[in-house]
Structure 1
Amino acid sequence: MHVLLSGIVGSTAYGLAHAGSDLDRLGLFAAPTVAFHGLHRPAESHVTTAPDRTLHEAAKWCRLALGGNPTATELVWLPEELYETRTPLGEELIGLRQSFLSAPAARNSYLGYAGQQFRKLAARDRTDDSGRARAAKHARHLVRLVHQGVTLHETGRIEIRLPDPERVRALGERYADRPEEAAALLADAEARFDRPGVLPAAPDERPAEAWLRRVRTAHLPTA
């Protein structure tokens, strides 16, 4: 397994980490090319805890990114200082990041995940400290996803480091107590997505295909 690109993601990357936050890592790797030639395909993901790390095989990562998966896609939009592994092929992938984006995927993914967080927030039992803390976490995720999705729709860029983390925390606490108020945030996001944005109607798969072929060539046996 050859790790091509990896970095620190999650609350640390967003600027929302606190003293008890976990340190989450995400990366992608290239399986040996010959591993695809047998009866059984190599594992597409490796997930560990302590440390918390998710690694996706290069082809799977590309499929996730082309589908607009926010968690996978953020790997190629991290602030420079958060990368821990950055090979030449990983650097190439960062350079191709715009080609993975599309308007329908951005809307479906970011609004879809935000809607999930809203439903979890509304259903959460907040009668004890643990339940309320989880509600606040759902609310923070909701606010972050709405901000990142609308920013992507309107600018064509994924903003990983939030410009105002304190506002996100404050809204998280507010919506934890009054979940119904978060509905207005979602409605506003939907209205902004309804207006024309800057993203193409479909991603461009050609750069990803060419990059994957270079990855496979680079990981062929030399003897």
Structure 2
Amino acid sequence: MRQPDNVLLAGIVGSTAYGLAGPGSDVDRLGLFATPTVTLHGLDMPTESVVSSKPDATFHEARKYCALALGGNPTVSELMWLPGELYEVRHPLGDELIAIRAAFLSAKRTRDAYLGYATQQFRRLEARGDGSFSADTRKRTAKHARHLLRLCSQGLELYTTGDLVIRLENPQRYRDFGDRVAAGDVGHARDTMARYEAAFDEGPSVLPEEPDRAVVEDWLLRVRAAYFDEAGPIAARPLGGKPSRTPGRTC
């Protein structure tokens, strides 16, 4: 696996983090890095994301990461809420990011990102899922369905408590739900979505109407100041290779 220099925060996400991983599941990694500030001053924008596969890993530059998280992106946001043992790199600036994670939250964007997306995807499952498709398609549908139920569950907890719990309390519930939907029980999916929509409507949310962009920008400016004297392009390097001049601490 390859990662950029100046990684501020990185960890294991996805099914492994949720407790839904099976024998054949991939181990997904997510992180963010700081581009040398001087490279932001030229004609060409520096690399915004570094992506690799087998194993799957995605690293976003700090500014892009902040923009995605401010938009409520669940996949990106969960990096700030991982259980401690799942972090693989934690630079002091990464710890600062975790400390301000609540600044990224807002009620409407959380509802749209979790419930809104899940509802849209469930309608697609409802339109095509009658249990008559191939075994391979049923397997993919089951995985899709259980992750959509996860989004509803995690999103509602975040919306009502302000806390995003990554590790699922009862993973088997999500597996059973996925299998049932993949077998063609679209009515169960429809009823589940209706219950979650009603739960969101019961509100009010503990989250603010808008994220605290000033707090997020202050963190990003500290990142830019910390890497102001760094020069040269972002160069990918293997994990375990020679560390950058301002390495994160490895957990």
Native 8 Å contact 2:16 2:27 kept in 1: yes
What residue number does 1:200 align with? 208
Q: CA RMSD in A?
A: 1.4
Instruction: Provide the rounded CA distance (Å) in 1 between the counterparts of 2:187 and 2:166.
Output: 27
Distance in 2 separating the partners of 1:127 and 1:106: 33
Would the aligned equivalents of 2:29 and 2:56 in 1 still touch at CA under 8 Å? yes
2:167 to 151, 156, 161: 161
Counterpart residue identity of residue 151, structure 2: L
Residue number in structure 2 paired with 1:6: 10
Q: Give the letter aligned to residue 143 of structure 2.
A: K
| Offset, 1:222 | 6.7
The Cα shift of 1:13 comes to: 0.3
Q: Please name the residue that 1:217 is paired with.
A: 225
Deviation of 1:127 (Å) = 2.1
Out of 17, 21, 28, which is 2:21 matched to?
Answer: 17
* Structure 2 SS opposite 1:28: strand
Shift of 1:91: 0.3
Q: Give TM-score, length-normalised by structure 1.
A: 0.96
Q: Distance between the aligned counterparts of 2:200 and 2:176, measured in 1?
A: 24
- Counterparts of 1:11-50 in structure 2 under 5 Å? 11-50=15-54
Question: How far, CA to CA, are the matches of 2:24 and 2:57 in structure 1?
Answer: 17
Which amino acid in the other structure matches residue 134 of structure 1?
R
Seen in structure 2, the aligned counterparts of structure 1 residues 84 and 26 have a Cα distance that, compared at 3 Å, is: same
- Return the TM-score normalized by structure 2: 0.86
Unaligned 5+ residue runs, structure 2?
232-251
CA contact (8 A) 1:27 1:54 kept: yes
Task: Work out whether 1:95 is the aligned partner of 2:99.
Answer: yes
Structural mapping, 1:54-65, within 5 Å? 54-65=58-69
Q: Which secondary structure does the structure 2 equivalent of 1:19 belong to?
A: coil
The alignment partner of 1:31 has SS state of coil
Q: Distance in 1 between matches of 2:211 and 2:230?
A: 34
Q: Which amino acid aligns with 2:60?
A: H
Structure with the larger helix share: 1
Aligned residues: 223
CA contact (8 A) 1:120 1:138 kept: no
Runs of 4+ in 1 over 6 A off after TM superposition: none
1:176 aligns with 2:182: yes
CA positional deviation for 1:23: 0.4
- Aligned-pair identity in percent equals 57
Whole-angstrom distance in 2 between the partners of 1:51 and 1:176: 27
Query: Out of 178, 182, 194, which is 1:187 matched to?
Result: 194
Displacement of 1:119 in angstroms is 3.1
Q: Which among 116, 119, 122 is matched to residue 115 of structure 1? A: 119
Q: Distance in 2 between matches of 1:126 and 1:135?
A: 12
Q: Secondary structure at the match of 2:17?
A: helix
Cα distance in 1 between the residues matched to 2:45 and 2:145: 39
- Higher-RCO chain (CA-CA 8 Å, sequence separation at least 6): 2
